Amino acid sequence: MVPSGFKECLDAEEVALAMERGARKFNQTFDLEVVPMIDGGEGFAKTIVNLKDGELIYREVTGPVGEKIVSYFGIFVEGDRRTAVIEMAAVAGLKLVPRNQRNPLKTTTYGVGELVRSALDFGVDHILIGCGDSGTSDGGAGLAQALGVRFLDKEKQMIEVHGGGDLIKVASIDTTQLDQRLGSVTFDVACNWQNVLCGEKGVARIFGPQKGATSQQVEQLSAALEHYASLIQEGLGMDVRLLPGSGASGGLGAGLIAFAGAVLHPRFDIIMDYIRIEEKIATADVVMTAEGSLDFQTPNGKIPSEVARIAKKHNIPVIAITGTIGKGAALNYEAGIDAYLSIIQKPTSLEKAMIKAPEWIEESIESVLRQIVIGLEMAEKKLIRERI
């Protein structure tokens, strides 16, 4: 069982525990391997820190809508390298944006920059950032401001950028006060490699609506991010518009490249360095995975499709359970998922679904296993008949 989390509901470990309970409810003797998976989003920092026997450091920082919140980053040491792990979702995630304030024109990554600054205070050599489950689309401008970057208007006066919508007001970028400690630290970023900053498949158009943007706001945000990319190209000499991963977490990927010299990686590649799952998948009879929503975006590097990719190398069948089945979900058959089903069996409210999710996951896993056993028994009876 290799599940992802259900966004804004259950983290990967909670989903995994519910899946295991469902399997044990049906058969206590099953030989189970349960591996909660992270994708750079919720649970990233805590999972990595636990695996590396590190510690969590808590700090008061700026949340996505500008309020003060308590967030955290992790610290662990390997050899002579001291690494900080920062989880974007824990400081500027969508779950931290109240539903009545979800407007990516006005949410900020400033708190992410504050955590980076705090990590630098600890004398780290390396910073690992997980990009996922974000509630922002400011291109990493908030992060940049927290690290000393100044955004200026046409009169060379500093502008406070409080969200992606403010980027259109910026005339130039001043990096002369950028925290000099950044030059002695390496950055690796786990992100969705498919996300780009600009264009028809840019982050504003693909993810803006999920973060609360209206169709008009999507166009405003798209224009603002295009303008921002032009300023980065003019001032820093790099074109971040279509770089793989540049659109991760509402363009935080682009900001990390431009202002921190970060190296972006497909999130599953980095995560596989910490969580070894291929050998577990290779010896399985069947693999079960999970995600909050299964749709046309799942094959683009999300955990169920990456799990399926590994399983198919070893001819192992894959079943996915999900909270909701969205548009284009059938594309997941081509991505290697052999079957999928929703845990929601009747009309219900979102609030009730989030409360009942653990119970419904248990029930769904038990039901799937019962169906598998029925299939095996039918196949065995057919084989006996053929022998007779």
| Domains, the chain, with CATH or none | 2-37+277-387 (3.40.50.10350), 44-269 (3.90.1510.10)
| pLDDT band, residue 199 (cuts 50/70/90) | very high
Mean pLDDT of 67-95: 96
**Tens digits of residue pLDDT in 43-58:** 889 889 988 999 999 9
d(CA 97, CA 118): 23
Quick one: pLDDT band at residue 335, thresholds 50, 70, 90?
very high
Q: Name which residue leads in pLDDT, 210 or 60.
A: 60
Mean local confidence (pLDDT), 351-355 = 91
pLDDT, averaged across the chain: 93
Measured CA to CA, the distance from residue 175 to residue 229 in angstroms comes to: 15
Q: What does the pLDDT average to over 322-327?
A: 94
Per-residue pLDDT, averaged over 335-355, amounts to 92
Residue 167 buriedness (CB in 10 A; 0-12 / 13-18 / 19+): buried
d(CA 315, CA 304): 16
- Through-space distance between the first and last CA atoms of the chain, rounded to whole angstroms: 37
User: Which tens digit of pLDDT belongs to each residue from 120-131?
Assistant: 999 999 999 999
Q: Which of 294, 200, 301, 206 is nearest to 241 (CA)?
A: 200
The residue type of 274 is Y
CA-CA distance, 253 to 245, in Å (whole number)?
Answer: 6
Sheet holding 158-159, edge to edge: 158-159, 150-152, 172-174
| pLDDT top residue among 141 and 4 | 141
Among 144, 135, 111, residue whose Cα is nearest residue 250: 135
Tracing tokens 């991505």 back to the chain, one arrives at 335
Confidence of residue 270 (pLDDT cuts 50, 70, 90): confident
Average pLDDT over residues 238-265: 97
Distance CA 365, CA 373 (A): 12
pLDDT level of residue 386 (50, 70, 90 thresholds) = confident
Pairing of strands 158-159, 263-266: unpaired
Q: How many angstroms separate the CA atoms of 64 and 135, rounded?
A: 7
Residue found by looking up tokens 């046309």 in the block: 296
Higher pLDDT, 253 or 379: 253
Q: Mean pLDDT across the stretch 152-167?
A: 96
**Over 80: is that where the pLDDT of 276 sits?**
no
**What pLDDT, on a 0 to 100 scale, did the predictor assign at position 235?**
94
Q: Percentage of residues in the chain with pLDDT exceeding 90?
A: 79
Closest listed residue to residue 168, CA positions, set 206, 108, 221, 102: 221
Distance of CA 1 to the CA centre of its chain: 19
Lowest mean per-residue pLDDT among 9-13, 60-64, 74-78, 273-277: 273-277
Q: How many CB atoms lie within 10 A of CB 124?
A: 24
Task: Write down the pLDDT at residue 297.
Answer: 87
Report the percentage of the chain scoring pLDDT > 70: 100
pLDDT at 388: 67
The single-letter code of the amino acid at 252 is L
Which range among 232-241, 271-280, 338-347, 349-358 shows the weakest confidence by mean pLDDT?
271-280
Neighbouring C-beta atoms of residue 345, cutoff 10 Å: 11
Name the token pair of 75: 């610290």
Residues near 214 by beta carbon (within 8 Å), at least 6 away in sequence? none
Looking at residue 148, its pLDDT comes to 98
